[in-house]
Amino acid sequence: MSQTVLVINSGSSSVKYQLIDPESGHAIAKGLAERIGEPEGHIQHRYSQKAVDLNEPLPDHGVALTEILRLFDEVGPALADADIVAVGHRIVQGGRYFDGPALIDDRVRNLIDELSTLAPLHNPAHLKGIDVARRLLPNVPHVAVFDTAFFQSLPPEAATYALDREIAEKYSVRRYGAHGTSHQYVSKRVSTILGARDLKQIVLHLGNGASASAIVGDKAIDTSMGLTPLEGLVMGTRTGDIDPAVVFHLERVAGMSVDEVDTLFNKKSGLKGLTGDNDMRGVREMAKSGDPEARKRARVALNIYVNRILKYIGSFTAEMGGVDVITFTAGIGENDIDLRREVCEQLVPFGVVLDEEANNQRVSEPITISKRGSSVRVMVVPTNEELAIAKQALTLV
Ligand code: ADP
C-alpha cells in the first residue's frame, strides 16, 4: 500500500473518516460513527466490497474512535500496514490565525479552542476528535485544515462589515467564509484543466450548506458566507441572507429568544422552511406533484434559490470586472441538471450559452457545460473535501 492520510471530520455527535491515498485520490476505506452520546450509537465502516455495521452505545468520541480503529484492524485495512503519514482534521473555524493548514501541537490546539466562541457547534467537537486521535495515534503528525483558511485572503472591503469598528475589533466580528477547502480545490482544478493561472472564477458550492466564491488567479476576493455559514445563499435548512432586523422583530412581536431565532435561521429555514423538505430531490419531486399548493410552494422556493445565486453571480462579476468561468459543485451543483439550466437561462442576456446535451450528462469527472462561443465557460467539477484535506495535510509532513 502506498502512503496514506487518515482524514477525520468530527462533529458534535458524529465522526466521519476516510483513509485516502493522496496520490491517486482513492478512498481506501471510509466510515461514519453517529449518535455519539446517545443510547443507541452506530458505526458503518466500508472497505473494499465490505460494509460493516456496528450498533452499540458510543458514550463519547474516545469510545467512537477506539471502535473505528478496531474496525480497521478487524475489517481492514490494518492500520499498522497502511503507512499513514498524517492525520488530517477538518476544522470549521480558523479565525484570523490560520491562512493554511497547521501541524497540531499544544499551541495550535489551544488556538482552535480559543476560536470556539466563533464556532460554538463545531470547534469544540473538532477538539474532541483531535484529542482522542492524538492519544490513539501518537506517532503520526496531526494536521488541522481550516474551512476558513482560503478566505483569509479576502480584501478588507469583502472581509469587513459596516459595523462600529471598535465593537467589530473587540469581538472579532468579520467575514471569515466557509467551505474554503472545497472552493480552493475546485478552482485549482479548473485552472489546471484549462491551463490558465489568471482566471476570474465563480465557484458555486451547492450542497446542504451552500456558498459562492469569487476567485482571481489563486486568491479568493469575496465569498457569500460571513462570520458564520449562515450568510449568503439559500441552503437546506439555513436562511442565507436576511435582514438582521428580522431578529429584532421576532424578539419584539413573537417573544422569541436569541437562541430560538438562531435555531429558526439555522435549522428550520431555507428549503426546509419554505417547503418542509430540506433535500433538493424532495423539493424537485414536490414541484412535480399532483397537489397544486405543494407544487406552488416548491416552485417559489426554487425561484428564491436561483434568484439568490444570480445575485451573487452578478455582484461577484462586477467586483472582479468580469468572469471567465462559473463552476457548479457539491450535491446539488453536481447532480441537479434543472438547477444548472435555470441559472444559465437567466444568464443568456450576458452571452452565456448552455450546451443542453453536456448539461444533461451525469459524470463523476469535470465537464464543460457551456457551448463554444459562450461568453463565460460554465463547468461542473465534483468536489472532494476529504482528498483536499489529505493533500493539504501532506504538504506539512
Ligand atoms: P453536504 O453539504 O451535506 O455535504 P451534499 O454536497 O451531499 O451535502 O449535497 C446534498 C444535497 O444534494 C441535497 O439537497 C440533495 O438533495 C442534493 N442532491 C443529490 N443528488 C441530487 C440530484 N440528483 N438532484 C438534485 N439534488 C440532488
Report all structural domains of the chain as residue ranges with CATH numbers, in order of start. Answer: 4-146 (3.30.420.40), 195-385 (3.30.420.40)
Cα 332 to ligand 1 centre (Å): 5
So what's the pLDDT on residue 372?
96
Predicted local distance difference test score (pLDDT) of residue 1: 64
pLDDT score, position 363: 81
The 3-state DSSP class for residue 31 equals strand
Model confidence at 316: pLDDT above 70: yes
Mean pLDDT of 165-191: 97
- Dist. CA 367 → ligand 1 center (Å): 18
User: Residue 212: its pLDDT value, please?
Assistant: 98
Q: What is the pLDDT of residues 88-121, one digit of tens each?
A: 999 999 999 999 999 999 999 999 999 999 888 8
For a ligand 1 pocket test, name from 280, 343, 360 the mutation site with the most ligand atoms within 8 angstroms of its C-beta: 280
105, 113, 147, 243: the catalytic one is: 147
pLDDT tens by residue, 247-301: 999 999 999 999 999 999 999 999 999 999 999 999 999 999 999 999 999 999 9
Ligand 1: which of 334, 336, 359, 385 to mutate, judged by most atoms within 8 Å of the beta carbon?
Answer: 336
- Give me the phi and psi of 227, to 5 degrees please: -55, -40
CA of 119 to the centre of ligand 1 (A): 24
Separation of CA 167 and ligand 1 centre (Å): 38
- pLDDT surpassing 70 at residue 389: yes
The pLDDT tens digits for 66-83 are 999 999 999 999 988 899
Q: How many residues does the chain have?
A: 397
What average pLDDT is seen over the chain? 96
Ligand 1 centroid – CA 278 distance (Å): 10
User: How many Å apart are CA 112 and CA 44, to the nearest integer?
Assistant: 28
CA distance 228 to 82: 36
Q: Ramachandran region of residue 314, left (φ > 0), alpha (ψ -120 to 50) or beta?
A: alpha
pTM, to two decimals: 0.94
End-to-end CA separation in angstroms for the chain: 18
Q: Is 335 touching ligand 1 by the criterion CB < 6 Å? A: yes
For this structure, is 147 an active site residue? yes
Does the Cβ of 209 fall within 6 Å of ligand 1?
A: yes
pLDDT at 2 over 90: no
Choose among 86, 80, 187, 194: nearest CA to 144: 86
As a whole-number percent, the residues of the chain with pLDDT over 70 amount to 100
pLDDT tens digits, one per residue of 7-38: 999 887 889 999 999 999 999 999 999 999 89
Please tell me if the CB atom of residue 283 comes closer than 6 angstroms to any atom of ligand 1.
no
pLDDT for position 285: 97
Question: DSSP secondary structure string, 303-358?
Answer: HHHHHHHHHHHHHHHHHHTS-SEEEEEHHHHHH-HHHHHHHHHTTGGGT--B-HHH
pLDDT number for residue 358: 98
Which residue from 183, 271, 335 has its CB within 8 A of the most atoms of ligand 1, so it is best to mutate? 335
With a 6 Å cutoff on the Cβ, whether 331 touches ligand 1 is: yes
Give Rg (Cα) of the chain: 21
DSSP for residue 370? B
Are 393 and 18 in contact, with CB atoms under 8 Å apart?
A: no
The model's pLDDT over 226-236, given as tens digits with 9 standing for 90+, comes to 999 999 999 99
251 CB under 6 A from ligand 1?
A: no
